[in-house]
Structures are given as structure tokens and as C-alpha cells.
């Protein structure tokens, strides 16, 4: 039981490059989230998926797209990376939107130069 896994752990991109962050959970959770965390700050919601087949914008969706590939996997895509997207990205899952405990992946540390 791996919980929530994220790949890659570290990534350096040049401005304008694209990439996809992968996230998978093996807990049969219905809801999944993508957050970004800037140094010394809290977690800001980028996109979430309340259930398989649905996605919704969070607080800071601009510059990102997501795909809920199946119940297990939720990917985050940066189409044209910008230095302002330098951050740590966390994926999380929860049994359903009214549950009380989110499980987080280890994070992806992204630097855009």
C-alpha cells in the first residue's frame, strides 16, 4: 500500500517548456487535489476532482490543466512554464469530499528558469 505517489520528485524547466506531473493513489479514494506551495506559504488549490470524470478549478488554476485519467490517477500539466510557477506541487486524495483526512504525496519540487 503505497498511498499517494508523485513523479517526478524534482524538475527544472526553462521558460516556455511543458511538462506533466503525475499522481496516483491506491486507497480507492474518490477525490483528488493538486496544490502548490510557495516558500513560507500555505497550500493553494490549483484543481480538484471530486470524483472520477469530474474536474473543477481551484483558487489558482491559470497556466495549468488537469486530467483525471481514472479513479487512481490525476495528472497536472503545465503547457508553457513560467518562472512564477516555480513551487512545490503536492497531490492529495481523500475518500470523498466530506471526509476529514487528506493524504498527501511527497511533492514535486519544480524550478522554472
Partner 1 sequence: GQSLEQPSEVTAVEGAIVQINCTYQTSGFYGLSWYQQHDGGAPTFLSYNALDGLEETGRFSSFLSRSDSYGYLLLQELQMKDSASYFCAFNAGKSTFGDGTTLTVKP
Q: Which residues bind partner 1 (CB under 8 A)?
A: 33, 35, 41-45, 48, 50, 56, 58-59, 90, 92, 94, 97-107
Give 29's contacts (C-beta < 8 A, 6+ positions apart).
93, 94, 95, 96, 103
CB of 37 to partner 1, least distance (A): 9
Residue 85 CA to residue 63 CA, distance in Å, equals 8
Cell of 73: 490517477
Nearer to partner 1, 35 or 64 (CB): 35
Nearer to partner 1, 67 or 102 (CB): 102
CB of 6 to partner 1, least distance (A): 9
Amino acid at each position: 500500500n503505497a498511498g499517494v505517489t508523485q513523479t517526478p520528485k524534482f524538475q527544472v524547466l526553462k521558460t516556455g517548456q511543458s511538462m506533466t506531473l503525475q499522481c496516483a493513489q491506491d486507497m480507492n479514494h474518490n477525490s483528488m487535489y493538486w496544490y502548490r506551495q510557495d516558500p513560507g506559504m500555505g497550500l493553494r488549490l490549483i484543481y480538484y476532482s471530486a470524483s472520477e470524470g469530474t474536474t473543477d478549478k481551484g483558487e489558482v488554476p491559470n497556466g495549468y490543466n488537469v486530467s483525471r485519467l481514472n479513479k487512481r490517477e490525476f495528472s497536472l500539466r503545465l503547457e508553457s512554464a513560467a518562472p512564477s510557477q516555480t513551487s512545490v506541487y503536492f497531490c492529495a486524495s481523500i475518500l470523498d469530499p466530506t471526509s476529514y483526512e487528506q493524504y498527501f504525496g511527497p511533492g514535486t519540487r519544480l524550478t522554472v528558469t
